Amino acid sequence: MSGLGLLWQGAAVLVGGGLLGLVYKGLDRKLAARMQARIGPPLRQPFLDLGKLLVKETVVPKDAVGWLFRAMPFLALVASFTVLLYLPWGPFPAVLGRYGDAILVLYLLAVPAVAMALGGFASGSPLAVVGAQREIVMLMSYEFPLAVAVVGVVWRLSTLGVGPAFSLGTIAAAPLWGQVGPLGVIGLAILAACLLIVTPAELSKIPFDIPEAETEIAGGLLVEYSGTYLALFYLADAAKTVAMAALVVILFAPYGIAGALGLTGAGAQAVDLLFHLLKIFAVMFVAVTTVRVAMARLKIDQVARGFWLQITAVAVGGLVLLVLDRMVVG
Amino acid sequence: MAEAQKVYEIPIGPIHPALKEPIRFTFQVEGERIRGVDVRPGFAHRGIEFMGLKRNLIQVLYLSERICGICSISHPIAITLAVERAAGIEVPPRAQYLRVIFSELERIHSHLLWAGVAAHELGFDTLLHLTWKVREEVLDVLEELSGNRIDYSIPIYGGVRRDIAPEQYPKVEAMIRHYRGLLEELLDAFLRDPSVAARTRGVGVLTAEEADSLCAVGPTARASGLAKDVRQDRPYLVYGELGVRAITPRDWGLEPRGDVYDKAVVRLLEIGQSLDLIEKCLHEMPDGEITAFPKIPALLAFLKKAEGEGLGWHEAPRGEVIHYIRLEAGVEEPVAWKVKAPTYSNLMSWVPMFRDQEVADIPIIAASIDPCMCCMDRVHVVQDGSPSTLLKEELLRLSRAKTERVLQGLSRVGGGA
């Protein structure tokens, strides 16, 4: 692929991903509102919010570590959007697929959280410091089950000997469900469920919006952020939501429907891309929107304990089932 | 975490999303654990008692209604009872029933309001939206009966200002049926929800001994297992005949633990109790006059001649509210007016409730006593432009000095709220 072509594709993915993130944010808010018997904001509200934030005054607190405080929103934004470049988009392979794999995506997904925590520590507000501490604890809690789920899928793929197993392109091209035995299917289902539980934690949404916790610490690590910097975090969150949901889809449901519909060529690609986006939306709706409507916010010790003990145990159980499946089926 | 070993301070308030009214907490926090708390009220002080001493009694009644929007029937009921005792006014039976109906309607909307706020503090906004939507029903009935959603202007010295017309009965009864059907759902949503239980069980515990020694009142005390309810302990109006019994978590089949969950239990069950009381009142209410003084000028003239002092008490949704009033013949204004709101009694329960809890519990514990700062705030000391703190000895000296002045008949000159 030529350098120029790569550039164009990258630009398309970044712009498209950002727009998609904001549209999905609008859908999320509207649907959540309907479920709460409210009317809710118009679908374009996230765009209006972003536009408003960009023209508002940006305040850097006197006590903040200025350069760190200013740098972190950019870091979060860049990391979130970079993930999009490493993800395959339905029929289209990842723009930078040759340069990074699932492990890189996992690390990149952790970067916005770290950036927000550092920004919180740097903002010199006790509320932000509490939020930042919570973000770090959260990160340490959910990363392990997340890694178990991803590694489980990848390891089982590698035993089947289909190309570079850690490449997301390979994972998307060879869905595991049909290649494993019944034990493996149960194991995969468990890992998929764990990943769905990790998703709202990764995205800091209720019941895991502990680092921001509006009623407790007034926005936590974001409390001192305003204007442009807040807009950058907002956009990073939108992109990360899409990236995380897309990762779930790629790992566990990378199917297209064009073949079933008997389409070929550009039409097939278009249909499959739309279907892929629909699946991403479905994951977001199940793991983020409905969950945040149906639950109260948990406390940090409850979350840490839950992820370290219960969720990790369940995820490892899924992994063990996959190992057993390998022994039985081969 | 290593740095978590050191204790640092987190200020919450006076303006903070967790607080619906201004008050300032300063928490000593170790990691996520609260080691101590300093509470500083006074931000919503408006000197209402002082204003009352400059107005005639009818005006004072309206002023009392504006102490707090949510308690806007509790304060007028307490002050009318106080003035009626001081002046020796007999209230017609029908008016007494009507006052009970309105105060129980207020209890329903106040408890629903609290339930929504509590859900919001837990980050459970769906429950907030649902409860507040449900609350509209009782507000509609209050508007139908009084003309206003809040600030009903119903009690007046000697009776009430509005009757419930025969054609309005079905509307109230329909509301009662509506809420009876909903109550089970509400209990389900709050008390059987695992994520609510995870956030409220064992959180903000106030033991029965602490509640007793700190003189907690209302649902705050009842959740700790104290069967304490002014309507039961010192019946007034027709509460004695209606037979009110203090509700504790035992009515829900639980041994009281005094945590936030128990406080939700008590408040939600009290909605059902209020529905029963309203229904009973509608059935038992006799026909007849609704006020002893149909003409306001006659009432004012009577009150101007009255002399004496009186105490009025009422079980507000948040607990016991007391008004003290002293009248002198020949003066239109009260000579003394003292308001004791339930939050004033419950304020100190925060200290044991916050001890060793987590930062995440601050909003729900603060909300669990259903604080009403604008009812409670009595004083805000500002000297040389900066707020200062008065300790017990100084306060004692000041109040003794004031008693001296009162004894010398200078109360009207130096009277302050």
Q: What is the pLDDT of residue A191?
A: 86
pLDDT digits 0-9 by tens, A303-326: 888 888 888 888 888 888 888 877
Task: Let me know whether B198 and B306 are in one domain.
Answer: yes
Contact across the interface for B129 and A37, Cβ inside 8 Å: yes
Strands B24-30 and B7-12 come out as antiparallel
The band of B386, judged by pLDDT with boundaries at 50, 70 and 90, is low
State the Rg of chain B over Cα: 22
User: With an 8 Å Cβ cutoff, is B199 touching chain A?
Assistant: yes
Contact across the interface for B126 and A35, Cβ inside 8 Å: yes
Average pLDDT over residues B371-380: 76
Contact across the interface for B129 and A302, Cβ inside 8 Å: no
Task: Let me know whether B404 and B324 are in one domain.
Answer: no
Share of chain B above pLDDT 70, in %: 94
In a domain, B16, yes or no: no
Task: Let me know whether B251 and B287 are in one domain.
Answer: yes
Q: Residue A214: which of B17, B198, B362 has the nearest Cβ? A: B17
Average pLDDT over residues A68-89: 89
Q: Residue A218: which of B16, B31, B195 has the nearest Cβ? A: B16
Which whole-number Å values give the CA distances from A177 to A223, A249, B21, in the listed order? 44, 13, 56
Contact across the interface for A297 and B125, Cβ inside 8 Å: no
Q: Which two tokens stand for residue B9?
A: 């301070």
pLDDT digits 0-9 by tens, B288-346: 888 888 888 888 888 888 888 899 999 989 889 999 999 888 888 898 898 888 888 88
Q: How far is B119 from chain A (nearest CA, A)?
A: 8
pLDDT digits 0-9 by tens, B244-283: 888 888 888 888 888 888 998 899 999 999 999 999 898 8
Contact across the interface for A207 and B123, Cβ inside 8 Å: yes
Task: Let me know whether B386 and B347 are in one domain.
Answer: no
Q: Give me chain B's average pLDDT, please.
A: 85
CATH code: domain of residue B141: 1.10.645.10
Share of chain B above pLDDT 90, in %: 13
Task: Let me know whether B315 and B406 are in one domain.
Answer: no
Q: What is the pLDDT of residue A330?
A: 62
State the Rg of chain A over Cα: 20
Q: Is the pLDDT of residue B228 over 50?
A: yes
The band of B414, judged by pLDDT with boundaries at 50, 70 and 90, is very low
Q: What is the pLDDT of residue B368?
A: 87
User: With an 8 Å Cβ cutoff, is B366 touching chain A?
Assistant: no
Q: Residue B124: which of A213, A295, A299 has the nearest Cβ? A: A295
Contact across the interface for B10 and A215, Cβ inside 8 Å: no
Number of structural domains found in chain B: 2
Which whole-number Å values give the CA distances from A162 to A188, A324, B300, in the listed order? 18, 20, 95
Measured distance CA(A219)–CA(A213) in Å, rounded = 6
User: B 217-276 residues with CB below 8 A of A?
Assistant: none
Neighbours of B30 (CB within 10 A): 14
Task: Let me know whether B408 and B265 are in one domain.
Answer: no
Task: Let me know whether B280 and B388 are in one domain.
Answer: no
Average pLDDT over residues B144-154: 87
pLDDT digits 0-9 by tens, A94-135: 777 677 778 888 888 889 989 988 888 888 887 888 888 888
pLDDT digits 0-9 by tens, A10-57: 888 888 888 989 999 899 999 989 888 888 899 899 999 999 999 988
Q: How far is B202 from chain A (nearest CA, A)?
A: 13
User: With an 8 Å Cβ cutoff, is A305 touching chain B?
Assistant: no
Q: Is the pLDDT of residue B3 over 70?
A: no
- Lowest-confidence range among A6-10, A44-48, B103-107? A6-10
- Lowest-confidence range among B11-25, B151-165, B199-213? B11-25
Give the global pTM.
0.79
Identify which has the larger pLDDT, B379 or B2: B379
Measured distance CA(B355)–CA(B358) in Å, rounded = 9
Q: If residue B9 lies in a helix (H) or strand (E), which one and from where to where?
A: strand B7-12
Contact across the interface for B122 and A296, Cβ inside 8 Å: yes
User: With an 8 Å Cβ cutoff, is B125 touching chain A?
Assistant: yes
Average pLDDT over residues B35-46: 84
The band of B385, judged by pLDDT with boundaries at 50, 70 and 90, is low
pLDDT digits 0-9 by tens, A154-166: 887 777 776 676 7
Task: Let me know whether B394 and B274 are in one domain.
Answer: no
Share of chain A above pLDDT 70, in %: 98
User: With an 8 Å Cβ cutoff, is B195 touching chain A?
Assistant: yes
Minimum CA–CA partner of A297 in chain B: B123
Q: What is the pLDDT of residue B381?
A: 66
User: With an 8 Å Cβ cutoff, is A217 touching chain B?
Assistant: yes
- Lowest-confidence range among A151-165, B50-64, B163-177, B220-234? A151-165
User: With an 8 Å Cβ cutoff, is B188 touching chain A?
Assistant: no
Q: What is the pLDDT of residue A302?
A: 83
Q: Residue A37: which of B119, B130, B363 has the nearest Cβ? A: B130
Q: Domain residue spans in chain A?
A: 3-329
User: Do the Cβ atoms of A79 and A111 come closer than 8 Å?
Assistant: yes
| Structural domain for B387, as ranges | 381-417
Q: Is the pLDDT of residue A284 over 70?
A: yes
Measured distance CA(B8)–CA(B5) in Å, rounded = 9
Cβ-Cβ contacts under 8 Å between A and B: the total is: 83
Task: Let me know whether B409 and B317 are in one domain.
Answer: no
In a domain, B194, yes or no: yes
Task: Let me know whether B295 and B400 are in one domain.
Answer: no
Q: Is the pLDDT of residue B417 over 50?
A: no
Measured distance CA(B20)–CA(B32) in Å, rounded = 23
Q: Residue B360: which of A36, A295, A299 has the nearest Cβ? A: A299
Average pLDDT over residues A226-254: 88
Identify which has the larger pLDDT, A175 or B104: B104
Contact across the interface for A133 and B360, Cβ inside 8 Å: no
Chain A residues in contact with B29 (beta carbon < 8 A): 130
User: With an 8 Å Cβ cutoff, is A37 touching chain B?
Assistant: yes
Q: Residue A296: which of B11, B195, B361 has the nearest Cβ? A: B195
Q: Is the pLDDT of residue A297 over 70?
A: yes
Which residues is B308 bridged to in the sheet? Answer: B327
Q: Residue B195: which of A207, A213, A301 has the nearest Cβ? A: A207
